[in-house]
Amino acid sequence: MAKVLVVTSGKGGVGKTTSTAALGAALAQEGQNVVVVDFDVGLRNLDLVLGAERRVVYDLINVVQGDAKLSQALIRDKRLENLSLLPASQTRDKDALTADGVSRIVTELREKFDWVICDSPAGIEKGATLAMRHADIAVIVTNPEVSSVRDSDRVIGLLDSKTERAEKGELVEKHLLITRYDTARARRGEMLKTEDVLEILSIPLLGIIPESQEVLRASNLGTPVTLSNPMSAPARAYIDAARRLRGESLVVSVPTDKRSFFGSLFARRVA
């Protein structure tokens, strides 16, 4: 059974697109058939992060409006053949999305793939609500700081009321992904503690992605971090998160870049 997953946050700049690409690639690396869909119409980025920007012909809006077939718009990744991208349109805005069109596309994607990962735009307006509309699972990307946490809380409320599942009286499975976690700053008490974030949002923790230059480097290369350097700390955190999404229960720790034997052995257990 295909699963529709939305990566959302409310706040911008917390790492939704990076996480979509990394989780999508990590699931594909495990042999799953994955499509990532960019819902950020007008401000598309997912194509850049996946290094597919030079191959975009048709986009989500073309398919919504019936100008192109889904198969024409899907771009298959060059490195992972079971990872596809449905890019957003850069020349249009979110008003070009229609509820019917999105519903039709998601239904069609469900038949072709194991995972349909929707990269939500920031905000809580049309683009974001349509991205979460058909979700079975939500990954809420949050930075350990108050504004991001409050916005995430708002988005969780929307997931519980505005989605198709919520309207049927079912629940959207929700997971918290804490990104840009700075171990040094956390130690100095300059960031919200993980347990505080978990207490405020009260949803299960999917993973903690450490702040790392590796993430920026991967984005600039146009390669998901799980592909560019699978042994790096953020890549390992994303790979573990993807395994948890598939149902494995792994202890959540903050991986560090120190390669020492003891460093990895005593990776700090957080929750």
Partner 1 sequence: MLAPEPPLADWLAEFDALIERSPGFFAGRPLVLDLSALPPGKEDDGKLMAHLAGSSVRVMAIEGRQPADLASDMPPIITGGREIRPAEDEPSAQQKAPAPPPPKAALTLESPVRSGQSVTYLDGDVIVVGSVGSGAEIVAGGSIHVCGTLRGRAIAGTVGNADARIFCRKLEAELLAIDGLYLTADGMDPQLRGRAAKVWLTGDTMMMTALD
Chain residues binding partner 1 by CB under 8 A are 124, 146, 150-151, 153-154, 156-158, 160, 199-200, 202
Residue 24 vs 123, nearer CB to partner 1: 123
CA-wise closest residue to 77 among 138, 34, 119, 31: 34
The least distance separating partner 1 from the CB of residue 136, rounded to whole angstroms, comes to: 19
CA-wise closest residue to 195 among 180, 214, 176, 211: 176
Residue 200 vs 271, nearer CB to partner 1: 200
Residue 141 vs 158, nearer CB to partner 1: 158
How far are the Cα atoms of 99, 137, 176 from residue 208, in angstroms, in the given order?
A: 33, 18, 9
CA-wise closest residue to 120 among 143, 100, 102: 102
Q: What share of the chain is helix, strand, coil (3-state, %, to 5)?
A: 45, 15, 40
The least distance separating partner 1 from the CB of residue 71, rounded to whole angstroms, comes to: 39
The least distance separating partner 1 from the CB of residue 7, rounded to whole angstroms, comes to: 18
Residue 60 vs 156, nearer CB to partner 1: 156
Residue 197 vs 227, nearer CB to partner 1: 197
Residue 175 vs 236, nearer CB to partner 1: 175
The least distance separating partner 1 from the CB of residue 141, rounded to whole angstroms, comes to: 16
Which residues, in sequence order, are CB contacts of 113 under 8 Å at separation 6+? 2, 33, 34, 35, 84
The least distance separating partner 1 from the CB of residue 254, rounded to whole angstroms, comes to: 25
Q: How far apart are CA 72 and CA 121, in angstroms?
A: 23
Sign of CA dihedral 74, 120, 256, 176: negative
Q: Can you list the alpha helix ranges (DSSP code H) found in the chain?
A: 16-29, 46-49, 60-64, 70-73, 99-112, 126-132, 146-159, 164-167, 183-187, 194-201, 213-221, 225-228, 233-245, 261-265
Helix (H, G, I), strand (E, B) or coil at 58: coil
The least distance separating partner 1 from the CB of residue 67, rounded to whole angstroms, comes to: 36
The least distance separating partner 1 from the CB of residue 9, rounded to whole angstroms, comes to: 13
Which residues, in sequence order, are CB contacts of 140 under 8 Å at separation 6+? 8, 9, 152, 155, 156, 174, 175, 176, 177, 201, 203
The least distance separating partner 1 from the CB of residue 150, rounded to whole angstroms, comes to: 5
Residue 157 vs 263, nearer CB to partner 1: 157
